[in-house]
A and B are shown apart, each in its own frame.
Chain A
């Protein structure tokens, strides 16, 4: 991943002493990350990205082979913030109502009564979303976009924080309906968990031999804390130069000859919001280009379509975005 920059403080995640500490993010974020890392060993980047998306009020798409801890991540995240977690296993016969809930006729009251589906939760884990039919997929995606559920003409809002963590097996596996690009655009970021390093895998054996570490995970923050953190993230300063940089970067994906489809304006908004959260997680009250650079691949790559030639030449969208980041001049001094 070219252009990806390791930032000075985030490896340990410790709050910088004497930093700009007037924000509610740093302390909570540190504890949440530590808590999740007791479950997800050796993947601080992934934890950090998940938290970034949570604070930026986006949704996360995790794409990887089965068994690398995608579900574990979502569950750990939900438990750490003491939110409600619902898991939906997507299967080919899953119906939209199975997600949103249905109106059921109540015999005693002679009225229809809404029975909320699993989407009414703080963290909704959509497992193997690409196994369901497109119709069912779009039901979830509509909830993600609207932050509400419409059943029988009644809109029912979803309470924040609301975050969908969808997992997806790579498209070349059997029996899947890969998400169309318009649907992928609704996810703020896509990450791959990847196989753990040998040492981390060794540790994992020890850890899972006794009880599940997930059971031992105690909440370290509340839903209200998450709301406050998200509120703060909206106020993080984005200098005009950085805004320009984001627009330049998104524009570059649209003009690149290697790409058939560039990033959408929604991608621009997502990138700025994610960068704000990313900066806040570092305890910084302003966004720097490094935040944008670090987020460019996860936030942009899954929305892009390679041109046929580029596909023939074995390029990947991640590569193309990384190249653009490596070449695009950073905002010049004011």
Chain B
């Protein structure tokens, strides 16, 4: 298969994108619609720990949190997945057991992607072998910026194959691409190469996820769906720590891709601290008062 060239991707106008985002952010989400949104956000979180200092103990704690977000709130969903390094996959798998929470593993020399292709593929196979349900790979940004689109494309195709049954999320690391036109092109390229999800960022580079970048990727997903009928998922990651912002992402999702994408199957938040703010807001909706953050477990 041939990788799409930059001029095969639609053009993007930054000013127009920013204005559209401002309109999403002007939506006022209150009462029942807010509670519904907060619950949806919780169910879409990929609870993440990606640190050099990660240990099996830390991962177990995170998995516990993933399963029991806040016992004093009845009827709240659990998160979608726990996202860890390959070396922690087995531990997470064991801790999560039959909870229904997926294990996502980053791979392909996350976060830089600076490794030979065969090493990257081996890493994916290892993570899948250990039980990862989802693989979050990074594209080779250096190659992409160099104009070697075919190499980037072929690598994603190979990664998809290495995933087997596991779902593949392709991280574009939009903070390193430098322009929305390139975000749009990279999105198209990743989807054509077989991505199940496209994802903004590793969380290691600033800026990480932003609403304008996410909008451009959602529009790419929409156009790809128009063309092929295949739905691709979206995962903004990094920098979304407040419930209010997360709700505005859902507004953007709802008004760009419609109802079909409004589930953890098609939309995820990569975040480590978002869950507690959402829980705090849910408590506020239930009781009318804000509780101290000490009432919410920090794992």
A binds B: no
What is A's interface to B at a CB cutoff of 8 Å?
none
What is B's interface to A at a CB cutoff of 8 Å?
none
